[in-house]
Amino acid sequence: MAASEAKNVGILAMDIYFPPTCVLQEELEIHDGVSKGKYTIGLGQDSMAFCTEVEDVISMSLTVVKSLLKNYNIDPKCIGRLEVGSETVIDKSKSIKTWLMQIFEECGNTDIEGVDSSNACYGGTAALFNCVNWVESNSWDGRYGLVVCTDSAVYAEGPARPTGGAAAIAMLIGPNAPISFESKYRGSHMAHAYDFYKPNLASEYPVVDGKLSQTCYLMALDSCYNVFCKKYEKHEGKQFSIFDADYVVFHSPYNKLVQKSFARLYYNDFLRNCSTVDEESKEKLAPYTGLSSEESYQNRDLEKASQQVAKSLYESKVQPTTLIPKQVGNMYTASLYAAFASVIHNRHETLAGQRIVMFSYGSGLTSTMFSFKINEGQHPFSLLNIANILDISKKLESRHVVPPKEFIEALKLMEHRYGAKDFVTSQDTSLLPAGTYFLTHVDSMYRRFYAVKGDGVSNAVSNGH
């Protein structure tokens, strides 16, 4: 039997949800007593979303799935696969996907493949690849795939705390997509590392080696770019350089690393002797030709010089991707796709025919560079409609900025509640938009109960069985 006939498989539709509560990085600098600019310029971040005690990764994913189905008018019966990427563990056995099944059980659709994929911030990319492969496989039954990335990034008191964030993204997968995969250009780098991990099972906070994590990220980037270029060159018979990408979208723990990463790709092009690197750049980067790759990751002068020569390209190819990550923070599995949503928001009118290169990274470590080809699409799966439904400006503008003190208090309460049972939340939904799911209580058997903020009408979600 021939494999699936599906062509141009990729992302048909997207929706995003992030909590309506955020803290400003400049206010956090004052609160933490650090030097001015440490978070805003040093990390490159503007503000950070966080879940209060009524929201979590399950509620956010319920909210965004319901929202996508409603906004694009998709019958839940038309979903044949549902995959979740997350690294925020609420239960070590029961997948987040099973909570989402409540939405589909309501209309009698329980024949939906897929579970949760996990490795740090990479799980969403794994889920996306799995869904796309399913559509291209013999097992495809003609229905849509649905990928959900949901995470809440929180850190213990200390230098990593301002690199948190929270969001959930849903992506509808199928053939004839406006955002389709160039499947043959794909480079992965997977290795054993302890740069960021969560071995303390009783705590929500990770163990982080910030410096190691940055080096691992850049090494993985180099390795993925190398494989990506080789595969491109094998298929296209010509050299690849960053000029062949209209936009480059990076997983964004904080914006500064994205700036460094793009400069690193430019340095790679220089080393590979791409004809696209101009004379001025060659001159400025020449002193660093002899560095070992290990040395090159630590060399501050190289970092500065490469960022300087790549600056104008960064402005055109990367800057438009940074809006949501800078405003919402690190969303772990959702970060890369929030950056991608930013470029759709900023550039949807001119994206058709363009190539977007994506770099996904998850500590531990797993990473892949891959490529999207964009076309206009057809309503409701058009770039314009996706941009309208994402509605980024309004979602960002309608947020509530809370003082750092309230943010810290929220984290303290969550520390106490992490892995706990037998408690009732405040059920305070005053800041949540209508249609948002929220946690009402956790019973003595650790079972979690959610409700939906209605338009005045209470709309409880029943517990399964």
Query: 244: which 2 tokens?
Result: 């062949």
Phi and psi of 373, rounded to 5°? -110, 130
Instruction: Match 């030709």 to its residue by tokens.
Output: 289
Nearer to its own copies, 396 or 451 (CB): 451
Alpha-carbon gap, residue 440 to 448, rounded angstroms: 8
Q: Exposed, middle or buried: residue 356 (CB in 10 Å: 0-12, 13-18, 19+)?
A: buried
Instruction: Match 């943010």 to its residue by tokens.
Output: 407
Active-site option among 29, 53, 87, 204: 87
User: CB of 216: closest distance to its own copies in angstroms?
Assistant: 7
Strand pairing report for 196-197 and 207-208: antiparallel
Alpha-carbon gap, residue 189 to 127, rounded angstroms: 17
DSSP conformation class of 76: G
Alpha-carbon gap, residue 372 to 379, rounded angstroms: 19
In this structure, are residues 86 and 150 in contact, taking their beta carbons and an 8 Å threshold? yes
User: CB of 180: closest distance to its own copies in angstroms?
Assistant: 10
User: CB of 14: closest distance to its own copies in angstroms?
Assistant: 21
Alpha-carbon gap, residue 289 to 271, rounded angstroms: 7
Active-site option among 51, 229, 251, 303: 251
- Cβ count near 75 (within 10 Å): 11
User: CB of 154: closest distance to its own copies in angstroms?
Assistant: 13
Instruction: Match 């891959």 to its residue by tokens.
Output: 370
Annotation marks residue 121 as catalytic: yes
Nearer to its own copies, 405 or 421 (CB): 421
Alpha-carbon gap, residue 178 to 130, rounded angstroms: 19
Nearer to its own copies, 64 or 461 (CB): 461
Nearer to its own copies, 201 or 457 (CB): 201
User: CB of 108: closest distance to its own copies in angstroms?
Assistant: 11
User: CB of 87: closest distance to its own copies in angstroms?
Assistant: 5
Q: Which of 175, 185, 267, 191 minimizes the C-alpha distance to 232?
A: 185
Query: 328: which 2 tokens?
Result: 């919402």
Nearer to its own copies, 7 or 412 (CB): 7
Cα separations in angstroms, 122 against 85, 188, 251, 359: 8, 11, 9, 10
User: CB of 42: closest distance to its own copies in angstroms?
Assistant: 25
Dihedral of CA 76/79/80/83: which sign? Answer: negative
User: CB of 417: closest distance to its own copies in angstroms?
Assistant: 12
User: CB of 19: closest distance to its own copies in angstroms?
Assistant: 21
Alpha-carbon gap, residue 321 to 306, rounded angstroms: 20
Question: Residue 282 half-sphere exposure, CB side, CA atoms within 13 Å?
Answer: 8
Nearer to its own copies, 190 or 271 (CB): 190
Give, in degrees to the nearest 5, the angle at Cα 350 between 131 and 15. 40
Q: Which of 296, 28, 294 minimizes the C-alpha distance to 161?
A: 28
- DSSP string for 276-325: TS-HHHHHHHGGGTT--HHHHHH-HHHHHHHHHHTHHHHHHHTGGG-HHH
Nearer to its own copies, 175 or 325 (CB): 175
Nearer to its own copies, 24 or 69 (CB): 69
Nearer to its own copies, 2 or 73 (CB): 2
Q: Which helix (H) or strand (E) holds 133?
A: helix 123-136
Dihedral of CA 331/334/339/345: which sign? Answer: negative
Enumerate the active-site residues.
87, 121, 251
